[in-house]
Amino acid sequence: MRDPLFGIPLDDQPRTLADFPGRAWLVVNTASRCGFTPQYEGLQMLWQRYRERGLVVLGFPCDQFGHQEPGNELEIAEFCQLRYGVDFPLFQKVEVNGPRAHPLFVELKKRAPGLLGSQRVKWNFTKFLIGREGRVVRRFAPATGPRELCGEIEALLE
């Protein structure tokens, strides 16, 4: 039986993880006015390097941390494309904590709690690496740069 994680709508289309077939997914909450915003470049590098081997990078803009993502979807996509050449899938703006948290992030936080078992995302650019069967392989802190994920992605894609 397929993991229920694959049935969670990602946006109002509705698209699910199943619509992005791969062997691994990297889900990231993003923001364009954050100290970690240059990580878009590294996320794009991961997408370019590994997409043919089965990695799908999925970006979810979020304005919950210091209002660092004030734009609408069009402005966000334009900024990411022009500034960092981003062409991996970006979704509508979401909340990742609280009563209006996106269901995908609710589930990811349960499966991969943060430090000391925290169910909260602490800041922008928290990353969740998900394997083919829906197992959350690892949660990465915002300060962990995308290039630091290469070893775990390589192992997952073998």
CATH topology classification for 22-157? Glutaredoxin (3.40.30)
Given this model, what pLDDT does residue 78 score?
Answer: 96
pLDDT digits (tens, 9 = 90+) for 40-92: 999 999 999 999 999 999 999 999 999 999 999 999 999 999 999 999 999 99
Percent of the chain with pLDDT over 70: 99
- Whether pLDDT at 112 is above 70: yes
Asked if the bond preceding 14 is cis, omega within 30° of 0, the reply is yes
* Domains of the chain, residue spans: 22-157
Residues with a known catalytic role: 34
Compute the 3-state secondary structure of the chain and give helix, strand, coil in percent, each to the nearest 5.
35, 20, 45
Q: What is the arrangement of strands in the sheet containing 24-30, beginning at the earlier edge strand? A: 55-61, 24-30, 127-131, 136-140
